[in-house]
Each structure stands twice: as C-alpha cells, then as structure tokens.
Structure 1
Amino acid sequence: MSNSHTLFRPDVLDGPKVRKIGLADLKQALVEGLADFSAMPSHLVFLGLIYPVAGIWLMIGNPLPLLFPLLSGFALIGPFAAIGLYEVSRRRELGLDASWKDAFGVVRSHAMFPILSLGLLLLVIFACWEYSALALYRSLFGTTWPQSFTQFFGQIFGTTEGWKLIGFGTAIGFVFAVLALSVSVVSFPMLLDREVDVPVAIYTSVKAVLVNPMIMALWGLIVAVSLALGFLLVFAGLAVVVPVLAHSTWHLYRKVVEPAPR
C-alpha cells in the first residue's frame, strides 16, 4: 500500500482512469446487480437487521421531526453497510464460490482499515446532516416536539414555517447527498478491489462524478427513489432494494473505473 507521504503527488492522485459511461451501462449494472441478488438472496439477513433497528428507533422515542433526516440519512451510510455484498459480487465476477462466509470474511480484508476510515467519514457527514436538520427545525418551531404524527404533519403542511422547513431542508439535504455520493459512489468497491489509499479512492470517486455528471445524478435519483419505496413498504422493501443497489454499485464501479494493469 502506498506510503502516506506519496498521497498528494500528482501521479499518485491521478489514480485509476475513469471512463465516460451511458444509460446502457447504468441499466446493465442494475441488471447484473439483480442477477447477483438472485444468485445469492440476502433479503432474510436484511430483514433480520432492519426491523430490530426500526424497533430500537421506536423504543428510544426519537422526536418525529428527525424521522425524515434519519430515513434519508440511510442513503448516506448505505455504501459502507453494503461492503460485504461488494465482496459477493467481486467473487462471482471472478468465477469463485460466494457464500455468507465470504461476505462476512471481508472484515479480514487488506482494505479493512481504509474502509473503516472512509466509513467514519460518511458517519461524520451523516451526523452533520442530522445536526443541520435539527438546527433548522428548532430555528422555525422551537424546542417543543410534536406528540403525534397527526400534529407533526399538520405542523409541516399547514403552516408557513412547515413549508420553509420542506424547502430549506430539501436544499440542505441535497447538498449532503451530493457530497456523500461524490466521495463514495465507487470508493468502497475500489478499496476492496485494489490496494489504494483513501484519498486516492475519494479522488477517483469524485472524478467519476465529474466525468459522468448526468449518469451519476440519475444513479443518485434511482437510489433515493428505491430507498423511499422500500421505506414505504413498512421497511420490508429495503430487504430487497438495499442488496440489489449494493451489487449494482459494484458493477457500476467496474464500468466507470478502468481495471488495474496486470
């Protein structure tokens, strides 16, 4: 792995070459992601994770105004949570057997420390989004929380402050979403795939977005809409949506970033 003093040399930061891709490539990545999920379904595992997390959220009584930021923030940390599924796609691509042992065995990967470091960065972005959402709500409504969904929705859709919250909150959330997408869209698969440092992976990910702005914007929209539909289906839809998006992310990485020279 590269030494830290080389991280900011132009030749190092130039990193892997990034391709310009089109709609056909994006569609193929989704098809291949669905094929990986079909070959090794993981919906029961995700059901076993999603519902306890949802239950904990209900038990600790999180204030209703943070419900949307928490749900939307799931997309910010999703790339880190899906690291085991990238490994499944990687092994299937190489023609190797892929099992849950391999998926969880990623914790022994050479890239685990860089992956954890990048995961921590996403958690920081997530925390900043939550704090921003909380500060915006308090600036408009004060510190008193609504006591029911009916009161909360009336507050949001029936007042001028509520519409301001929707407008400003959407704008702020969009900024955080673009930031998270830019630093993570291909960086986690890349860290798993080859021996590079976190700055190189982030640089390559940002470059992939800059080279393919419309395709990456569409990919971000697909992720957001898919997760929203998953939440609407009483969280159960996430058990399919999350793994399919994760496998598709691996194949998107393969299409955007040129393979390492042999």
Structure 2
Amino acid sequence: MVKTIGNPLSWAAQGLSGAGHMVGDATDALRGEVTQPPEVKTLTIEDLGLALRKGYEDFKRFRSDVMFLVLIYPIIGVCLSVIAFNQALLPMLFPLGAGFLLLGPIAAVGLYEMSRRGERDTDVGWGAALSVLKAQNVGPILVMALYLIGIFLLWILSAMQIYHWNLGPQPPESLGQFALDIATTGAGWMMVILGMTVGACFAALVLAISLTTLPMLIDQRVGLVIAVITSLRVARKNPVTVATWGLIVAASMLLGTLPFFLGLIVVLPILGHATWYIYRAAVPRG
C-alpha cells in the first residue's frame, strides 16, 4: 500500500485519537484493577536496617547521586539564590529546607523504578527513572504528586503565619539579626517550638499516606485510593517502626542540608532506594 503524507486535519485527528487513548489509560490507572487493599506485613527495626543497606548498595550501583546532582541540586541553588536576594524570604529558609521531607516521595519516584528493575536486571541505567512516566502509571503518580505539592504549600503558608505571629510581620533586617532574634528572644523560641510541632504534623501525615503509595503504584496495577489505603494500613499496623523510619528520615535530611544542602545529593538517593525495600518488606505483590 502506498503511504501518503496526509494533511493537517488528518494529523490533528490522529493526535487527538492518541491523546484520547492516553487519557483513557491514565484514567483507568487511577481506578486500577485491584478493588481490595492487600493484607500488609509486620515491619521490624531490622527491616529498616536491611532497607538502608540495600538502599546504599543501589546508591553505589546506580550512581544516583550524580542524577540528583544534575537534576535536583540546580533547583535547590535557584531557590537559595532567590532567598539570598530577597530579605523578606529569609524566614522561609528553614521551612523550604524542611519541605524536602514533604516532597521527597515525588523526587524519589525514579529511584523506586531503578530499584524495582534492579531486583531482576543487572543492567539498569538512568533511563529507567524516566520510564515510570507511562500510561499505566502517570495518572495516579501525577495526582499523588499534586496532593503532596498541596500539602507542601499549606506547610509554607503555615510557616509564614507562625513567623508573623511571633517575629513579624516586618521582614528581618539581616540573616545575622534573624538568627539572633531566634536564639535570644522568647518570641523566637516560641516560633521554633510552634514551627517544629506543626511541621512534625505535616511530616507525619505525608509519611502515613505516601510511605508505600508511590512504590506500589509503580509495581502493581492498583488505583490511587487502594495504594493510599495500603500505606495507611502499613502505618497503623507498624506505628513504632514507621515512626522510627520517620525519625531516621528527618535526622538524615537535617544532616543532608549541611553544608549548603550538598549532603542531600547523597541522603535523598539512599533514602529513596531504601523506601522501595521497605515497601517490598511490607506489601505483598498481588
């Protein structure tokens, strides 16, 4: 059969047809093929240690630190530059840094896929990190990402309000003066205590709803609702272990911000790979 070039109308029709199929596939993925969440397993502290060791091995194997250096650190640098040139944003320096805890599950999506493939394939490259953006995955992953971004924005708004209640509403005179006000005034201490309390609540919420959600969406054809319910079941069945993991993540992220957030290039990939193995230990495959 002779192939013809066609015309713009036929191109548009084909494009719309393809886009319609992709949207339909993504919508089906939001519902998934599984209607009941699985029975989750019991996690122990030893499981966390094993997950961290496996995460470190994947970190060395895939050199995912380089990937984060290329993709993530420039974004961090831009944010810090904007803050440095806008004094009014100085109070948001720590909340933005702490916000990586809330957005970490999004940043680690590619790492989950690399670890998933690495379990059965010795030749896994960085291209695997982008392969999650396919029809059966992209719908629920993007929706979950939007939820986490919304929680992050609520945290930033809360942090701004806490600053206004205590040391605001005027912006700090300088970074040095801002640090001095925090360390030597009652209002500064109150801001720190209130901010850490509210931040811990946001972090606990994100940990409970996302611990195994994104890895499960990548690994199994389940809908977003089933994946979130499963993550909540893991947290409810293993409150001490999950809380311990949250403390490990928080402490690691705090160390990763030093110096100048450079440590995150190592911390984020290791924690991302380790989260995959926590999912594998807690959630059976359907």
Same fold (TM over 0.5): yes
Residue 36 of structure 1 pairs with residue 36 of structure 2: no
Unaligned runs of 5+ in 1: none
Alignment of 1:3-18 (within 5 A): 12=35, 14-18=36-40
Whether the 8 Å contact between 2:109 and 2:214 is mirrored in structure 1 is yes
Aligned to 2:111: 85
Aligned to 2:129: 103
Aligned to 1:240: 266
Shift of 1:142: 2.5
Q: Structure 1, residues 126-185: CA drift from partner, whole Å, max 9, x if none?
A: 000000010111122222111322111111111111111011111111110010001100
User: Which protein has the larger Cα radius of gyration, Structure 1 or Structure 2?
Assistant: 2
Of 69, 92, 98, which residue of structure 2 is paired with 1:72?
Answer: 98
Of 147, 155, 162, which residue of structure 1 is paired with 2:181?
Answer: 155
Aligned to 1:222: 248
Report the residue type matching 1:42 in the other structure.
S
Shift of 1:77: 0.7
Whether the 8 Å contact between 2:256 and 2:263 is mirrored in structure 1 is yes
Of 32, 46, 54, which residue of structure 1 is paired with 2:68?
Answer: 46
Aligned to 1:211: 237
Q: Structure 1, residues 212-259: CA drift from partner, whole Å, max 9, x if none?
A: 011111111111111111111322211111111100000000001112
The more displaced of 250-259 and 87-96 is: 87-96
| 3-state secondary structure, aligned to 1:168 | helix
The more displaced of 65-74 and 88-97 is: 88-97
Unaligned runs of 5+ in 2: 1-24
User: Relative contact order (alpha carbons < 8 A, sep ≥ 6): 1 or 2 greater?
Assistant: 1
Structure 2 length-normalised TM? 0.84
Count of paired positions: 256
Shift of 1:6: 7.7
Question: Separation in 2 of the partners of 1:221 and 1:57?
Answer: 26
Whether the 8 Å contact between 1:109 and 1:192 is mirrored in structure 2 is no
The more displaced of 14-23 and 202-211 is: 14-23
| 3-state secondary structure, aligned to 1:19 | coil
The more displaced of 219-228 and 107-116 is: 107-116
Question: Separation in 1 of the partners of 2:30 and 2:52?
Answer: 38
